[in-house]
A = this chain, B = another copy of it.
Amino acid sequence: MSLLIDGLQYANWSEKIFRQMRKGGVDAVHVTITYHETFRETVLNIERWNRWFELHPDLIFQGRNAADVALARETGRTAIFFGSQNPSCIEDDIGLVEVLHTLGLRFMQLTYNNQSLLASGCYEAEDTGLTRMGRAIVAEMNRVGLVVDMSHSGERSTMDAIEHSARPITITHANPSSWHPALRNKSDWLLRALGESGGMLGLSAYPHHLKDGSACTLQSWCDMVARAVDLVGPTGVGIGTDLCQDQPDSIVEWMRVGRWTKTIDYGEGSADAPGFPAMPAWFHDNRDFGRIRDGLLASGMDATTIGGVMGGNWHAFFDKSFGPQVATSVRERRAAE
């Protein structure tokens, strides 16, 4: 069986969920460890993961590079790769990019819906693209091997990141807006540019990103996968379920509101439906990836493409993304300029 990798989850983790990862044969998961937390608060979250790694070494371990995915498969465990959905964790300090990479961070979104120090979020009225600091941080992320994730960014900022980044970027959890129009989904032209640049799109199973929301059928979702493969290319598409299993609704409020406003922002929800939406019938937890694989087979997709979408493409992307960019020093690069 080909590798199975989920490009984004933010669950209320527990031994139960780690066991479900094993039951589902999930080799690797990119987990969100921080949203609006400061650096010190993010380190507290890492400490919590360190305890889980210490308590459950038979189920999970910290992934640092692509080889760890193969190691996970060989040893019957799930490799956990850290990511941040907002740059709050680096505060205003470029030196924290390398520090967090050393602590295992492998993905960082430049924005989460709002304007950040680095770029514009998809909910801002104006998208002014990468800021001065944004360009500096992308270069530093490129240098150390921390992947730029633009899932919650505006389209211009995302295009700026694709063009400015010396290494391919990713949108870990979003769908084509031509399938389901939503501020968080991405336009066809952007997805084509992502694919041409060698980037990766992780397709979401989060109801607000789905046609017909929680009622979205597996067949409709699999047709969308085929459409995404046409747009991004067969090696540029993976899965990023955005699974928020077992989270209380207070967490979706933290995601949306953080500490940036004293009023409620409903984000993709509404005053009538402020909490987490119900997941679609065909995907509730890590044991359900087999259904997606079967759905893709039933939709007529070829086995090679399915293997890529289910994990092979993420694995190849990890392999080219997490190591240092070049072995030369700043002095050598300056001399070469």
Contacts and interface: CB of A to CB of B under 8 A. Distances in A.
Interface of A: 39-40, 43-44, 46-48, 50-51, 54-58, 93, 95-96, 98-99, 102-104, 327, 329-331
A231 B142 CA distance: 52
**Residue among A43, A58, A104 with max Cβ neighbours from chain B (10 Å):** A43
A51 to B, nearest CB: 7
Contact of A47 (B48, B93, B104): B93
A95 B48 CA distance: 8
A227 B96 CA distance: 46
B55 A329 contact: yes
Contacts of A47: 93, 95-96, 98-99
A185 to B, nearest CB: 37
Given A40-B39, A43-B96, A329 B102 contact: no
A98 B50 contact: yes
A329 B99 contact: no
Given A43-B99, A47-B95, A50-B98, 10 more contacts: A39-B40, A43-B96, A44-B93, A46-B99, A47-B93, A47-B96, A48-B95, A54-B329, A56-B329, A102-B103
- Identical subunits present: 2
Contacts of A329: 54-58
A39 B47 CA distance: 14
B50 A99 contact: yes
A9 to B, nearest CB: 22
12 contacts: A39-B43, A43-B99, A46-B99, A47-B98, A47-B99, A50-B95, A50-B98, A54-B330, A55-B329, A102-B102, A102-B104, A103-B103
A44 to B, nearest CB: 7
A307 to B, nearest CB: 33
Contact of A51 (B48, B58, B95, B96): B95
Contacts of A50: 95, 98-99
A23 to B, nearest CB: 20
Contacts of A56: 329
Contact of A99 (B54, B93, B96, B103): B103
A46 B50 CA distance: 21
A96 B51 CA distance: 12
A39 B96 CA distance: 13
In the A-B complex, list the 5 residue pairs whose CB atoms are closest, starting with the nearest.
A47-B95, A57-B329, A50-B98, A54-B330, A102-B103
Contacts of A95: 43-44, 47-48, 50-51
B46 A330 contact: no
Contacts of A104: 102
Nearest to A47: B95
A284 B162 CA distance: 52
A320 to B, nearest CB: 22
A46 B96 CA distance: 10
Contacts of A40: 39-40
